[in-house]
Structure 1
Amino acid sequence: MKKIILILITFFSFTAIGQIRVGKAILPYEENFADTDLKLNGAGMREMLWIDLYAGGLYLQGKSKDPKMILESDKTMAIKLNIVSGFVTQKKMIKAVRDGFHKATFGNTKPLDKRINQFIKFFSEPIVKNDIFDIVYIKDVGVKAFKNGKELGVIKGRDFKYALFKIWLGDEPASEGIKKGMLGIQ
C-alpha cells in the first residue's frame, strides 16, 4: 500500500511540475519546436466583460520581460493559445486577428496583406472550447501554425513574425493583462 501511495505522489508531483494552470487552461512549462527547447516566459488570460476567453503563453529560449527585444529577436519562439470559452468563434477570431494586424502595423497592412490572408485561412475550421493553437516562429523558416498539434502551414518572413507577435506584445496589445502575463510581470 505504501508503494502505491509513493508512486501516486511521485506521478502527481511530476505532473504538477511540468505545467501551469491559467484560469481553466493548463499550459506546459516547456515545449520543443524545430528541435529547440523553449520555456514558458509567462502566461495570462484574455478576458472580456469578466469572461475568460483564452489563455496565452509565451515560450522563449531564455526569459525576457522586454517586449521590444522579443519582437526584434530572430530566435525560435512560440505563443500558445488555449481556448477556454465557447464565445471564441471562428468569425470572432478572424476579426480579432485582422484588427490586431491593423493595430500592429498602424493601419499599414499592405506589405503583409497576402500573408495575413494566408494566416487567416488557418482559422477555416470552427473553433471550439479546448482548441489549442501554437504560433511558432522558427528562425530561417518563418511562422508555423498548429491547431491541436496538427500543422496548418508556414508563412515566411521575419517582418510577418514581428507584426503577428506584436498583436499580443505591442503597444496596443489584444489585452494588457495577457501581455503582462506573457512577459511574466503580473
Structure 2
Amino acid sequence: MKSLLRQLLLMTAVISAPVTAKNLADVSLADEIALSEQALQLNGAGIRSKFFMDLYVGSLYTQGPSQTLDSVLNSPRVAIRLNIVSGMITSEKMQDAIIDGFDDATDGQSQTIQPQIDAFMALFSAPIAQGDQFTLEAIKDLGVTAYKNGEKQATVEGEAFRKALLKIWLGDKPAQKSLKRAMLGE
C-alpha cells in the first residue's frame, strides 16, 4: 500500500511540474520576450557551431510565426538573440565574424551601410564572456537596437542596415545553414 501511495505521489509531482521553456546547450530560451514594451514570441532557435564546438545559441523572436526571410524582413519588429556558450568567443572574433556576415549579406556591397556597420561594431569592443547575451531588436523603417545582458547599448538607424543584419543569420549566405533553418522554425 505504501508503495502504491508513493507511486501516486510521484506521478502527481511529475504531472504538476511546470513546463520548462526550450533548452539548447544549457541555455533556457524564453517562449516570449518583451522589448520596447512589446511582446515577441520564440519563432525558432539553434546552435552556431564551428569545428564541432558550440559557440552560441541563436534564437529568433517574432510577432507571429515566420518561416521565410521575406516574412521576417516585412515584420514590423523582430529580435535575434545570441547567447554565448563558449569561452572561445572574443570581441575580436565576434567582430570578424560580423564583418564577414555583412559582406555575405550584402553580396560584397557593404560600403553603402559602412557608417552603420562601424557604429554597430563598437558594441562588440568590450570583452565578451561565456554567458553573455546579445539581443538585436530590428524595427522596420527604424533600424536595430542592441542590448547586452539586458542593458540597452545603442540604436543604429537605417532600413538597409536592418535588412543586412537580419540576413547575416537568415539570408542566402547565412552564418550557418542549419542555424537559419532552426531560427525559422523549419
Q: What's the TM-score, normalizing by structure 1?
A: 0.89
| 1:27 alignment counterpart | 29
- Structure 1: runs of 5+ lacking an equivalent: none
| 1:123 alignment counterpart | 124
* Bigger shift: residues 93-102 or 61-70: 61-70
Does 2:51 correspond to 1:46? Answer: no
Verify the 8 A CA contact 1:34 1:138 in the aligned structure 2.
no
Ranges of 4+ aligned residues in structure 1 off by more than 3 Å = 5-10
| 1:154 alignment counterpart | 155
Question: Within 5 Å, which residues of 2 pair with 1:1-186?
Answer: 12-13=17-18, 16=20, 19-71=21-73, 73-185=74-186
Instruction: Measure the CA separation in 2 of the matches of 1:135 and 1:61.
Output: 15
Q: Alpha-carbon deviation of 1:8?
A: 9.9
Q: What's the TM-score, normalizing by structure 2?
A: 0.89
| 2:7 alignment counterpart | none
Q: How many residues align?
A: 176
* Bigger shift: residues 19-28 or 98-107: 19-28
Instruction: Measure the CA separation in 1 of the matches of 2:35 and 2:46.
Output: 21
Over 3 Å counting, the alpha-carbon distance change for 1:67 and 1:139 in structure 2 is closer
Q: Alpha-carbon deviation of 1:139?
A: 4.1
What SS does the corresponding residue of 2:175 show, helix, strand or coil? coil
Over 3 Å counting, the alpha-carbon distance change for 1:8 and 1:150 in structure 2 is farther
Instruction: Measure the CA separation in 2 of the matches of 1:44 and 1:183.
Output: 10
Per-residue CA distance 1:45-100 (angstroms, 9 max, x = gap): 001011000000000000011112212x1411100000000111111000000000
Verify the 8 A CA contact 1:74 1:158 in the aligned structure 2.
no
Identity rate, percent? 40
Instruction: Measure the CA separation in 2 of the matches of 1:139 and 1:68.
Output: 12
Instruction: Measure the CA separation in 1 of the matches of 2:33 and 2:185.
Output: 17
What SS does the corresponding residue of 2:182 show, helix, strand or coil? helix
Per-residue CA distance 1:100-134 (angstroms, 9 max, x = gap): 00010111111100000000000111001000000
- Return the index of the structure with the highest Cα Rg: 2
Over 3 Å counting, the alpha-carbon distance change for 1:53 and 1:178 in structure 2 is same
